[in-house]
Homo-oligomer: A and B are copies of this chain.
């Protein structure tokens, strides 16, 4: 474990984008402390992948269990199993999809920043990406820069870095393939069943990325 040597914090879900970010940092000889959140997400199998990657890189890992707070997110189909996950053809860039988890990203960033302050490091890495077919208000570069404006006021001046914020999943995949990310060990599908569904918004973006670069996704689909 690199407890005392961490030089930053990274938020890792175990999904496609943040796992690529983890290896991207490792490639650059960074030693991030890793923070992962359970929040009652349907696709909590991503957490096992997060553990696997963090362990294999010998990094410090904090898994924060926010699942007792599910009442905060009753109206999100990513948390509320009585709701249906929309298929990719039913989402757009104009209307937030039902998979939006209210203020989730700011909550995750806030907790990651608290940990960075306690560890005495100044950077928090966040795997926000540019979505192709849908979008969330809290994954944009404008969001990141306004959050950083808040932390400019803080004596410790924590900086949020989102190196992929203007990259699509195809761009991220190209980076990940170059540095040898094993995408069979990343989970994206919002439905969280045994096999990935292949038609929810995040499966659709992931499959498009593999299609764009001309290789087969190593994950098994229904």
Per DSSP, chain A at the interface is: helix
Q: Decide if A114 touches B146 in the complex (CB within 8 Å).
A: no
- Chain A, range 31-84, C-beta contacts under 8 Å to B: 62, 64-65, 68-69, 71-75
Q: Does any Cβ of B come within 8 Å of A30's Cβ?
A: no
Interface 9-residue window, one of A150-158, A163-171, A183-191: A150-158
- Chain A, range 103-121, C-beta contacts under 8 Å to B: 103-104, 106-107, 110-111, 113-115, 117-118
Q: Decide if A111 touches B107 in the complex (CB within 8 Å).
A: yes
Q: How far is the CA of A146 from the CA of B149 in the complex (A)?
A: 7
Q: Does any Cβ of B come within 8 Å of A180's Cβ?
A: no
Known pairs A71-B62, A118-B74, A146-B146; A103 contacts B107 (CB<8 A) = no
Q: How far is the CA of A115 from the CA of B110 in the complex (A)?
A: 16
Q: Does any Cβ of B come within 8 Å of A221's Cβ?
A: no
Q: CB-nearest residue of chain B relative to A108?
A: B110
Q: How far is the CA of A155 from the CA of B107 in the complex (A)?
A: 17
Interface footprint category on A: 35 or more
Q: Does any Cβ of B come within 8 Å of A197's Cβ?
A: no
Q: CB-nearest residue of chain B relative to A65?
A: B68
30 contacts between A and B (CB under 8 A): A62-B71, A65-B68, A69-B111, A71-B115, A72-B111, A72-B114, A73-B114, A73-B118, A75-B117, A102-B113, A102-B114, A102-B118, A103-B114, A103-B117, A104-B114, A106-B150, A107-B107, A107-B114, A110-B110, A137-B153, A137-B155, A138-B154, A140-B153, A142-B153, A146-B146, A146-B149, A146-B150, A147-B150, A149-B149, A150-B150
Q: Which of B68, B71, B96, B103 is close to A113, meaning CB atoms less than 8 Å apart?
A: B103
Minimum CB–CB distance for A154 against chain B, Å = 5
Q: Decide if A118 touches B149 in the complex (CB within 8 Å).
A: no
Residues of B within 8 A of A111 (CB): 69, 72, 103, 107
Residues of B within 8 A of A103 (CB): 110-111, 113-114, 117
